[in-house]
Amino acid sequence: MEKAAPYLAYFYKFYTQKLEKEIKRGTIPNHIAVILDGNRRWAKKALTMSKNGHFKGADAVENFLDWCEELDIKIITLYVLSTENLDRKDNELEYLYELIRQRLEKLYSDPRIHKNKMRVKAMGRTELLPDAINDVLKRLDDATKGYDNHYLNIAIAYGGQNELVDAIKKIATRVKDGSIEVNDISKDVIEANLYTAHLPQQSPDLILRTSGEQRMSGFLLWQGAYSELIFMDILWPEFRKIDLLRAIRTFQRRNRRIGK
């Protein structure tokens, strides 16, 4: 088995390069959104602590961002933490908060966000998060608010229903103060009040979920109306470049009618 390992590694590298060349001849999604699922199940399968699954999952996020940079994907939206996740109130959540803070600090220090002119923005009810996380999120927002070449959206303390409620409240406030009439409320007005209002393309071309679950879990309920959905059995910490390439190839083979 050990003698076969180098051959398997060579085959994997060869096939990955071949597949990458293939998909680059087609349309690369402009906006990819990902539900990062399976950290805890990976840890259970590996007979290790849940926090090790989150650590490996954080590594997978960094790798994923590298691959998206190589493919020049302009907009990335990552579902990192839902509002429901905040109800755990246990040691695992505290570890997760600290891990997120550390990786955000690492991102803040990464010169590539400036080289690529990447706008980094949190999406969600971030007031529910610890001050330490909000501090680095604000620094990332301030440091990148003038960029518009690439976008990294971090859905954290996020819920799709909450997003719609918050948008409705904003619009209702404008109706109440007389700055807009009820009959003026349109699709464009709603989108201007969503968490994704800063994006040049709010709707993802492709929404990917790992771990084998086939549901949206409240992710981008408005924006994902016409997105292509791809569900993969692989657990997030095991996600490889070849999995991303296969997802893009699947996307390219679909006939996107957008309601037509």
Q: Is 41 marked as binding a ligand? A: yes
215 belongs to an annotated ligand binding site: yes
Q: How far apart are CA 233 and CA 235, in angstroms?
A: 7
Neighbours of 53 (CB within 10 A): 23
Cβ proximity of 210 and 239 under 8 Å: yes
228 annotated binding-site participant: yes
Q: Is 144 annotated as a binding residue?
A: no
42: annotated binding-site residue?
yes
Q: Tell me if 50 is assigned to a ligand binding site.
A: no
| Active site members | 37, 85
* Burial degree of 10 (CB within 10 A; 0-12, 13-18, 19+): exposed
37 marked as binding residue:
yes
31 is in an annotated binding site: no
Q: What is the largest CA-CA distance in the chain?
A: 74
Determine whether the annotation assigns residue 51 to a binding site.
yes
Distance CA 251, CA 186 (A): 30
Compute CA distances 73 → 115, 174, 244, whole Å.
15, 35, 12
How far is 102 from 61, CA to CA, in rounded Å? 13
Q: Residue 164 is inside which H or E element, if any?
A: helix 160-176
Give the Cα separation of 129 and 133 in Å (integer). 7
Q: Is 38 marked within a binding site?
A: yes
Alpha-helix runs per DSSP H in the chain: 5-24, 39-45, 50-71, 91-108, 112-115, 131-144, 160-176, 187-191, 241-253
Residue 87 contacts by C-beta under 8 Å, 6 or more apart in sequence?
none
Does 249 count as an annotated binding residue? no
Residue 1 annotated as lining a ligand binding site: no
Q: Does residue 49 have a known ligand-binding role?
A: no
Known binding residues for Mg(2+):
37, 228
Annotated binding-site members: 37-42, 51, 54, 82-84, 88, 209, 215-217, 228
